[in-house]
């Protein structure tokens, strides 16, 4: 069995010695053997450390990992430790990594312009901010979204239009996400049968891996499809805008060329001939 010192272990697992010590102190990683003042780690430590690193990189929480690695007692299987609520939390752990922040109303208005009560309700309704126990202080779901909205507002786009547009996009993305989720559900039923629930660590790992892989595929597909669709939409909008501009310019030019006078039955307008006929 291979043996490692802490710096070798961290290097093999692709992490840092500080993280190794943190995982030890939190109970995620077993304590090493001691040979005098030297800490000795084994392949078991390396496998467990790699598992911790992988699970963290894929969005699992320390709470879940703690249950995976330390919750099992002799004779128990994983479902004795992870109840259904834990399983639900595991497979529905947020994929996004928002940057939440608390902001006063004055700070929001500094970025987004004046916010009346109706606009604040709209921001809350769309999940951009949430009320707190303090009056005129709000929990911002993701400060980067506020920054993006502020950038559009600074370019002359009213916040009301920004929110209306993003709400419409959200609805379409919600529908796309539900379609991907239904595809995953159908695949679980196809492979495992209706009403299936994992009964051991291997089955739970299979379910989590399927969800994670579908999320990754859906995210890449959404980004690629949105970029492609946005490029096409911009070209189409630009074409319509230019066509409308040319039509308007042509109409104005025709009006400018049109002289005063009466139209003859068989030709364009002609000015009245004011010359008198000779006697």
List, for residues 4-41, the tens digit of each pLDDT value.
Answer: 999 999 888 888 888 888 888 777 788 888 888 888 99
Per-residue tokens: 94: 């947020």
Mean pLDDT rounded to a whole number for the chain: 76
- 3-state percent helix, strand, coil for the chain, nearest multiple of 5: 60, 10, 30
**pLDDT-derived band at 77, boundaries 50, 70, 90:** very low
Range 77-88 burial, b when 16+ CB lie within 10 A, else e: ebbebbeeebbe
User: Residue 146: its pLDDT value, please?
Assistant: 94
Dihedral angle, C-alpha 154, 155, 160, 164, nearest 10 °: -130
* DSSP assignment of 129-160: EEE-SSTTEEEES-HHHHHHHHHHHHTT--HH
Higher pLDDT, 60 or 128: 128
Taking residues 179-191, report their average pLDDT: 81
Taking residues 140-168, report their average pLDDT: 91
**pLDDT-derived band at 255, boundaries 50, 70, 90:** low
User: Residue 163: its pLDDT value, please?
Assistant: 92
Per-residue tokens: 50: 């790699």
- For the chain, helix (H) and strand (E) counts, in that order, are 11, 8
User: Residue 271: its pLDDT value, please?
Assistant: 46
List, for residues 105-150, the tens digit of each pLDDT value.
Answer: 999 999 999 999 999 999 998 889 988 888 899 998 888 999 999 9
Query: What are residue 2's phi and psi, to 5 degrees?
Result: -70, 150
Rg of the Cα atoms in the chain? 33
List, for residues 221-239, the tens digit of each pLDDT value.
Answer: 777 877 787 788 788 888 8
Higher pLDDT, 161 or 216: 161
Ordered domains of the chain (ranges, CATH): 3-70 (1.10.1660.10)
Taking residues 69-86, report their average pLDDT: 47
């Amino acid at each position: 069995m291979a043996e490692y010192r802490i710096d070798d272990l961290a290097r093999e697992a692709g992490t840092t010695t500080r993280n190794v010590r943190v995982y030890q102190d939190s109970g995620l990683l077993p304590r090493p053997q001691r040979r005098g003042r030297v800490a000795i780690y084994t392949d078991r430590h390396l496998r467990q450390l790699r598992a911790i690193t992988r699970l963290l990189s894929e969005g699992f929480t320390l709470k879940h990992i703690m249950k995976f690695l330390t919750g099992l007692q002799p004779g128990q299987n994983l479902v004795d430790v992870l109840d259904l609520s834990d399983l639900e939390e595991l497979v529905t752990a947020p994929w996004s990594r928002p940057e939440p922040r608390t902001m006063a109303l004055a700070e929001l208005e500094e970025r987004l312009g004046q916010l009346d009560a109706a606009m604040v309700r709209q921001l809350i309704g769309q999940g951009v901010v949430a009320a707190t126990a303090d009056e005129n202080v709000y929990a911002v779901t993701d400060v980067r979204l506020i920054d993006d909205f502020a950038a559009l507002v600074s370019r002359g786009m009213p916040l009301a239009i920004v929110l209306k547009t993003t709400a419409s996009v959200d609805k379409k993305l919600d529908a796309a996400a539900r379609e991907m989720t239904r595809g995953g559900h159908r695949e679980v039923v196809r492979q495992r049968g209706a009403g299936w629930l994992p009964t051991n660590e291997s089955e739970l790992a299979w379910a989590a891996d399927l969800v994670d892989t579908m999320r990754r595929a859906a995210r890449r597909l959404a980004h690629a499809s949105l970029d492609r669709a946005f490029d096409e939409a911009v070209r189409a909008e630009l074409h319509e805008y230019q066509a409308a501009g040319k039509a308007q310019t042509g109409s104005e030019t025709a009006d400018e060329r049109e002289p005063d006078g009466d139209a003859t039955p068989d030709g364009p307008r002609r000015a009245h001939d004011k010359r008198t006929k000779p006697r």
